[in-house]
Chain A
């Protein structure tokens, strides 16, 4: 079959209307062509399940991965990115009902095309559709097939979902483009037929209340410059809480490492937000007792710190394990195999730490934290949104009452930027490591401040500021992470030795790994001045002023 020329969908509210529309299409085509069923037995209903990562990496890259179940093993079909990007692979062990880590992908074209894009995420079933297609041939006067009409009926599998409207596709036969175009014109003129707007995947997801790309770890809070500051802060924090909760099931089931990573980032962002502008939540609001007290703020901050600490050991081990192959390949004196006992030890440690994490996240303490937090934030948001800032009437704290998201963003971002420039400028080649580690934290706060208020900024200036900041953060991150990893590897070596699980060659190889990390740390340190100057020098200052509307 040649490429599809045009797709249509039968509009209408119910299956009966759809059937009538399809019948009218067939009648209209019958005026111009002989319309006959395709040879051979019609295909039975096929179950098609779309897979993507939790953060829609395939969709965002314009790709779709579909698993088509069949007797004796189904197949995976990758499409998008033009005909050269198409790939079909038998996948006998694949199951439509569960997430698959990347290693489950059969070796071949599909794995080769998406491996790097997907890693380290797992592939999750997004939606399953049961579809059956009837193909009819459109014949000319010689009885030659000059085009085909596909009528595809489908319904979302599982649950009590409405069937999806039938899709009608005219497929061209090579060498007969004019006839296919003629067929398309005929179909398009039938009342009740409209062009297909999106892929079947989009319709199927809509039927289950989702849409492609519905998860992103970006903050992307729905805020506007004129919004009361208190409301904007509550909206941002609620959005972060959404992300925490969205990732929780994936963390608990240990689907892939990035669920925990995204959860941790949102926890860290929450803590930074509380520090940067948590005071906006303490603005007295009507109804009474809706706002947070200073004690409330401190309590929530402490609880989120607890969550952060709870998740740290597993993430640290994940970082070692994710980079393991690359580390092993980079060994100069030792052999990659020498590190195997280290990998086994890391994996075993991770299992233990994961159990502790899992227990922690299932405690009533965690559940009530997220519940209370949501309830308090929702009340504050709604109260602030209703314009019921109590102080506006009482005359107290006028400043806070009149503050908008725009003014808050400018003030707090400026403050965070000032901290970064001041502390960074004080760093000399003789400064202790802690000075750089502290600067990294301030940079993170500034980064979060920028990201929280991103919708209020000019995108071009925002992109430039963020780019320089990211490069500075990468440098500081490399400087600190390598140091942390060296410390961890030393501690792990000690515990492996204590547990009699450390062959001499493994310890030697681990020593080589720490040496390589130390070299990277030195390189990062040497790069710092240049990175800092690029971000906080006169040009950087000018860009920031422009961003914050101070130019």
Chain B
């Protein structure tokens, strides 16, 4: 793989595990794959920034970044982990739609802002707010891979189809869409059926499912990726397997099962 790869965690719905996914995958990319990684917390709520203990504040706010008055580079903060940086959230991001619109209304503004990071990073993660807006459109255009956490319900599958259709309508480069089931409750029959059937039937649904675990919720107490504070937990194993699956698709290798297995057996040491 050459050049920077941009991953976005996205879903129209909130509370499906976008931020926990972005935080854990970004950490794995940096710590276990050795990629120079930056995570941009685009959600004005600043949950990803909180988990990395970074204050959700950008000098000059979103306006300065979007208008190009302050380079993105200036806003970057090092996390506590090697190879992993963060562009924090800012409360002004809540107006990002207006800012993007004011900056020319282009759906590719974000791509242009990210371009200078290509030399410095191997992987960029975009943690998006839940919405359909100019922000999400920008994110979808900027991304190489859209990672979509899905709650196992019939409706959520419809949402995935809508997203896939929307992306298919892009002119030129189109991101790859990869959904996975998140917050899966193994005790629920419906969850079990949907996750098992769909991942077999659809190539855009990952084989890995992340179970609903209180440990994942603990991330906001520990303020660290689950792969750091509980590296051997089943939650950490699930994120590791998901990352391996995404990586094997990136490199186009056929050994996704092997990669997932190997990652699942990892120790998660730093």
* A contact set with B: CB distance below 8 Å: 1-2, 39-41, 137, 142-145, 173-176
Interface assignment of B55: CB less than 8 Å from any CB of chain A: yes
Whether B55 pairs with A175 at a CB distance below 8 angstroms is no
Within residues 78 to 93 of chain B, which ones have a CB less than 8 A from any CB in chain A?
Answer: 78-80, 82, 85
Q: Return chain A residues, CB-CB under 8 Å to B228.
A: 39
Closest chain A CB from B269 CB (angstroms):
6
| Chain B min CB distance to A170 (Å) | 14
Contacts across chains A and B counted by CB atoms under 8 Å: 35
Give complex CA distance A104, B162 in Å: 59
In the complex, chain A residues whose CB is within 8 Å of the CB of B85: 174-175
Complex Cα distance, B36 from A174, in Å, reads 13
Q: A173–B270 contact, CB under 8 A?
A: no
Q: Does B113 contact A (CB under 8 A)?
A: no
In order of increasing CB-CB distance, the 6 nearest A-B pairs are A175-B77, A174-B78, A144-B53, A173-B78, A145-B80, A40-B270
- In B222-270, the 8 Å CB interface with A consists of 223, 228, 269-270
Interface of B is mostly: loop
Closest to A41 in B: B269
B82 touches A144 (CB 8 A): no
A40 and B54 alpha carbons, distance in the complex (Å)? 21
Interface set, chain B 31-69, CB cutoff 8 A to A: 52-55
Complex Cα distance A176/B52, Å? 14
Knowing A40-B269, A143-B223, say if A176 contacts B77 (CB, 8 Å): yes
Task: Indicate if the CB atoms of A143 and B53 lie closer than 8 Å.
Answer: yes
CB neighbours of B270 from chain A (8 A): 39-40
| B199-240 vs A, Cβ < 8 Å mask (1 yes, 0 no) | 000000000000000000000000100001000000000000
For the complex, give the distance between the alpha carbons of A143 and B78 in Å.
14
- Contact assessment for B269 and A144 in the assembled complex, using a CB-CB cutoff below 8 Å: no
Residues of B within 8 A of A144 (CB): 52-54, 80
- Secondary structure of the A side of the interface? loop
Is B163 in the interface zone, CB < 8 Å from A?
Answer: no
Chain B hits for A39, CB < 8 A? 80, 228, 270
Between-chain CB contacts (< 8 Å), 28 pairs = A1-B82, A2-B78, A39-B80, A39-B228, A40-B269, A40-B270, A41-B269, A142-B53, A142-B54, A142-B55, A143-B53, A143-B223, A144-B52, A144-B53, A144-B54, A145-B78, A145-B79, A145-B80, A173-B77, A174-B76, A174-B77, A175-B54, A175-B75, A175-B76, A175-B77, A175-B78, A175-B85, A176-B78
Q: Inside 8 A of A40's CB, which chain B residues have their CB?
A: 269-270
Alpha-carbon distance between A41 and B269 when the two chains are bound, in angstroms: 9
Instruction: State the CA gap A2–B52 with chains docked (Å).
Output: 17
Residue of B54, B75, B80, B223 most packed against chain A (CB within 10 A) = B80
CB neighbours (8 Å) of A142 from chain B are 53-55
Q: In the complex, what residue of chain B is closest to A142 when comparing beta carbons?
A: B53
Other contacts beyond A144-B53, A173-B77, A175-B75: 20, CB < 8 A: A1-B82, A2-B78, A39-B80, A39-B228, A39-B270, A40-B269, A40-B270, A41-B269, A137-B80, A142-B54, A142-B55, A143-B53, A143-B223, A144-B52, A144-B54, A145-B80, A173-B78, A174-B76, A174-B77, A175-B77
CA distance A145 to B224 in the complex (A): 12
Whole-angstrom distance between the Cβ of B151 and the nearest chain A Cβ = 31
Q: Enumerate chain B residues within 8 angstroms of A1, measured Cβ to Cβ.
A: 82
Q: How far is the CB of A446 from chain B (nearest CB, A)?
A: 53
Q: Chain B contacts of A175 at CB under 8 A? A: 54, 75-78, 85
A28 to B85, CA, bound (A): 28
Smallest distance from the beta carbon of B84 to chain A beta carbons, Å? 10
- Name the distance in Å between A34's Cβ and chain B's nearest Cβ: 12
How near does chain B come to A73, taking the closest CB pair, in angstroms? 18
Closest chain A residue to B78, Cβ basis: A174
Of listed A41, A145, A174, A175, residue having the most chain B CB within 10 A: A175
In the docked arrangement, what's the CA distance between A229 and B54, Å? Answer: 73
CA distance A144 to B77 in the complex (A): 11
Smallest Cβ distance from B26 to chain A, in angstroms?
15
Q: Within the assembled complex, what's the spacing in Å between the Cα atoms of A176 and B75? A: 11
B residues within 8 A CB of A143? 53, 223
Point out the residues of chain A lying under 8 angstroms from B54, CB to CB. 142, 144, 175
Question: How far does the Cβ of A309 sit from chain B's closest Cβ, in whole Å?
Answer: 58
Residues of B within 8 A of A174 (CB): 76-78, 85
Q: How far is the CB of B83 from chain A (nearest CB, A)?
A: 9
Report the minimum CB–CB distance from A406 to chain B (whole Å): 58
Chain A residues lying within 8 Å of B269, measured Cβ to Cβ, are 40-41
Among A1, A40, A142, the most chain B Cβ lie within 10 Å of the Cβ of: A142
Residue of B nearest to A175 (CB): B77
CA distance A145 to B55 in the complex (A): 12
Closest to A2 in B: B78
Give the shortest distance, in Å, between B124 (CB) and chain A (any CB): 15
Q: How far is the CB of A139 from chain B (nearest CB, A)?
A: 9
CA A104 to CA B78, docked complex, whole Å: 38
Please give, as numbers and ranges, the residues of chain A lying within 8 Å of B78 by CB-CB distance: 2, 145, 173-176
For B77, what are the chain A residues with a Cβ–Cβ distance below 8 Å?
173-176
Q: Tell me, rounded to whole Å, the shortest Cβ–Cβ distance linking A548 to chain B.
A: 56
Minimal beta-carbon separation of B191 from chain A (angstroms): 35
Residue of A nearest to B55 (CB): A142
Q: How far is the CA of A145 from the CA of B85 in the complex (A)?
A: 12
Q: Cβ of B52: which chain A residues have Cβ within 8 Å of it?
A: 144
Q: Tell me, in angstroms, the Cα distance from A144 to B86 when the chains sit together.
A: 13
Q: Say how far A172's CB is from chain B's closest CB, in angstroms.
A: 8
Q: What A residues does B76 contact at CB under 8 A?
A: 174-175
Kindly list chain B residues whose C-beta atoms are within 8 Å of the C-beta of A41: 269
- Measured between beta carbons, the chain B residues less than 8 angstroms from A2 are 78
Q: Which residues of A contact B80 (CB under 8 A)?
A: 39, 137, 144-145
CA distance A144 to B55 in the complex (A): 9
CB B55 to nearest CB in A, in angstroms, measures 7
Alpha-carbon separation in the docked complex, A137 to B55 (Å): 18
Q: Which residues of A contact B223 (CB under 8 A)?
A: 143
- How far is it, in angstroms, between the C-alpha of A41 and the C-alpha of B77 when the chains are bound? 25
**Which B154-186 residues have C-beta < 8 A from chain A?**
none
The minimal Cβ–Cβ distance linking B218 to chain A, given in whole angstroms, is 15
